[in-house]
A and B are shown apart, each in its own frame.
Chain A
Amino acid sequence: MAAIARPERDGPRRPNIASAGVQLPAVKTYEQVDEEIIATLGPTKKWFAALALAITCLLVGITTWMYQIHEGMGVAGYSPPVMWGVYIVTFVFWIGIGHAGTLISAILYLFRAGFRTTIYRAAEAMTVFAVMTAGLFPIIHIGRPWKFFWLIPYPNWRLLWPNFKSPLVWDVFAISTYLTISTTFLFIGLIPDIAVLRDREKNPTRKMILSMLSFGWRNSEAEWRHFVRAYLFLAAFSTPLVLSVHSVVSFDFAMGLAPGWHTTIFPPYFVAGAIFSGFAMVWTIIIPIRKWWKLEHYVTLNVLDASAKMVLFTSLVVGCAYLVEFFISWYGGVPAEQDYFWNRVFGQWWWAAWIMLTCNMILPLSLFSQKLRRNPVWLFILSIFINIGMWFERFVIVVPSLSHEYEPWQWTGYKPTWVDLAILIGSFGWFFMWFLLFVKQLPVFALSEIKEIVQPRLKRAHHHPPEPNDDYEPSTPGAHA
């Protein structure tokens, strides 16, 4: 059969086209992976400064919470009927952030989307810390935090059991299951990488701790065989879990009768929003990391490009949900719903609604441009806008509905107090404190999975036919792959 001649190209070469696959042309050997990624673990002055800032924010939050416990929930700006405010908004926000990690590590794993390989560990850690943060907010919100364990079913002297028909109880189980499985998934994936650290460690105390954490992992074929299978099943369990958790969170609202809440679109709308916001937070974290640690050849532009396509897609889904909500309120013909949506966009809450629409619907349309999808600076800026927009999305869902229900005499406003804002800042401190501690103790890039991408040394090199795209920038190492 005659060979097909490949056409000669004149002029500048086109950039690689991002696909589900991943190529790391600048990463040549297994040893290089270990050396470059383990080198990121040494603490630096900037890291200490960032950690100090995070802990300061956390202390502000803790002190304010103590003040709130002493003074009562009145200091949090609640006034009937708006009894859900910044705490519930922030709870849903952090739960949403916690979704991208498992999406990237589990769902994209099942779909064999290779671009996840270099970002999934950071995303998984982000998930665990975000859910840890989210879990605090219902406790802060209930006013008497020391009673929160009443939601857990256990034999007790009161002979009382939680009401399993309540969405709030589903929430407790959905979130605690999600936290447990996400943490397990993160830790199981870390075991072989901790073994790498253990084998390189010189300090006897650290070596002993790493030996315990690695469970005596030896990299034997039998261990890997069971590991790969267990990882697959954990991914298979995590996939419906991701979809269920935010669906259950959306039931907190959808089961209520308030205008704007009682709608069947909420579960998919919440799940798409969660993935959207979670990916944005992944960018907020991973783009500075790849820059500061000079790991552009791991988190390549193709990886960012592929993730930008996910963000664009989920943005379109979320935008569609916003528009469908308006349509249904008009088409449904319920005056209270119509009045509520008018009030949301053109009335009392116009500023919050337009922040939401601008950040979540309009700005992400820029990602139709490949140039912008491959521009890390723009992606970072956009990620901040999306984070802000998604917090306001939850604000727009929670507050305007409660402040504009069926009875006009109940209509009111809501103004967060300094207590709300200080606890919100504290939540960011809590999240980033854990993340900063994680990135300097354990590899934030998955060593063993990245090694799977790297071509192993062979006695007799295999000659594969050229891939369709491999002549674009063939000799440009690293970031442009």
Chain B
Amino acid sequence: MNIGMLGAFRELDSTCEAIEDLKRQKIGHVTCFTPTPRHEIDHAMKSPPSSVRKYTLIGAFSGAVFGYWIAIWTSEYWPLVVGGKAISTWVPFTIFSFEMMVLVGGLSTVAGLFINARIPRLTMTVGYDPRFSHGDFGVWVECAPDKLKAAEAILRQHGAVEVRGEG
């Protein structure tokens, strides 16, 4: 069971300072909630870059290859013979390959988002409050029971309007 302390903040800079302080003091694993993406929070969290791009690249490449393969294979399997014309022609097949690249690449990107962001999620788990989709920022720090007091102190020190233990 996850145990931790949740702080709700009205101000963006307070939130960032609380995150930096929690990370500096190695209180526990910090999760931040924000109504809209903010680069200030990205900097405070120091998170690694998203790996969604790998899914995009692999999906797009697979789609392009599949597009060429299906067009060439079906043309060879059921040839429409026209005198002086090649059965497999790369110019029209590139159009099809391009469409498949976009389709599979796009859907792989979505799959990458879902896998990395861990959605769909069946429950909201601990450490979430509906106000974080509205206007407030949230900081959830998951930590050992003996560090809860320290976490609470840091959250309050930086101006959290509400602090509560969860888990």
Question: Could you list which residues of chain A lie within 8 angstroms of chain B, going by C-beta atoms?
Answer: 29-31, 34, 153, 159-165, 169-170, 173-174, 177, 180-181, 184-185, 188, 191-192, 195-196, 198-200, 215-230, 233-234, 237-238, 240-241, 244, 248, 448-449, 451-452, 456-460
A196 touches B92 (CB 8 A): no
Cα distance A120–B163 in the bound complex, in angstroms: 38
Given A30-B135, A448-B36, A451-B35: A234 and B106 interface contact (C-beta under 8 Å): yes
Best-buried of B31, B120, B123 by chain A (most CB within 10 Å): B120
Cα distance A13–B133 in the bound complex, in angstroms: 39
Choose among A180, A222, A226 the residue that contacts B106 (Cβ–Cβ < 8 A).
Answer: A180
A226 touches B113 (CB 8 A): yes
20 pairs, A vs B, C-beta closer than 8 Å:
A30-B134, A161-B77, A165-B80, A165-B92, A173-B99, A184-B110, A199-B131, A200-B130, A215-B120, A218-B125, A222-B117, A223-B119, A227-B113, A229-B113, A234-B106, A451-B35, A456-B38, A457-B11, A457-B12, A458-B13
Contacts of A195 in B (CB 8 A): 133
CB distance from A183 to the nearest CB of B (A): 10
Contacts of A241 in B (CB 8 A): 102
Per-residue interface assignment for chain B, residues 91 to 113, with 1 indicating a CB less than 8 Å from any chain A CB and 0 otherwise: 01101101110110111011011
Contacts of A237 in B (CB 8 A): 60, 102, 105-106, 109
Cα distance A227–B110 in the bound complex, in angstroms: 9
Q: In the complex, what residue of chain B is closest to A225 when comparing beta carbons? A: B50
A217 touches B119 (CB 8 A): yes
CB distance from B116 to the nearest CB of A (A): 4
B42 within 8 A of A: yes
Cα distance A227–B114 in the bound complex, in angstroms: 9
Q: In the complex, what residue of chain A is closest to B111 when comparing beta carbons? A: A230
CB distance from B19 to the nearest CB of A (A): 9
CB distance from B140 to the nearest CB of A (A): 8
CB distance from A459 to the nearest CB of B (A): 4
Cα distance A223–B41 in the bound complex, in angstroms: 13
A221 touches B33 (CB 8 A): yes
CB distance from B133 to the nearest CB of A (A): 5
Contacts of A188 in B (CB 8 A): 110, 113
Choose among A161, A220, A224, A230 the residue that contacts B78 (Cβ–Cβ < 8 A).
Answer: A161
CB distance from A472 to the nearest CB of B (A): 27
B25 within 8 A of A: no
Contacts of A240 in B (CB 8 A): 98, 102
B34 touches A221 (CB 8 A): yes
B159 touches A459 (CB 8 A): yes
Contacts of A31 in B (CB 8 A): 134-135
Given A199-B133, A226-B52: A218 and B109 interface contact (C-beta under 8 Å): no
Closest 10 CB pairs of A and B: A216-B121, A199-B130, A161-B74, A30-B135, A230-B113, A229-B50, A451-B36, A215-B120, A456-B12, A224-B37
Cα distance A85–B34 in the bound complex, in angstroms: 53
CB distance from A438 to the nearest CB of B (A): 20
Cα distance A233–B50 in the bound complex, in angstroms: 12
B134 touches A170 (CB 8 A): no
Choose among A163, A218, A223 the residue that contacts B80 (Cβ–Cβ < 8 A).
Answer: A163
Contacts of A248 in B (CB 8 A): 95
Choose among A177, A198, A233 the residue that contacts B109 (Cβ–Cβ < 8 A).
Answer: A233
Q: In the complex, what residue of chain A is closest to B135 when comparing beta carbons? A: A30
CB distance from B107 to the nearest CB of A (A): 7
Choose among A181, A191, A233, A448 the residue that contacts B103 (Cβ–Cβ < 8 A).
Answer: A181
B98 touches A225 (CB 8 A): no
Contacts of A451 in B (CB 8 A): 35-36
CB distance from B69 to the nearest CB of A (A): 11
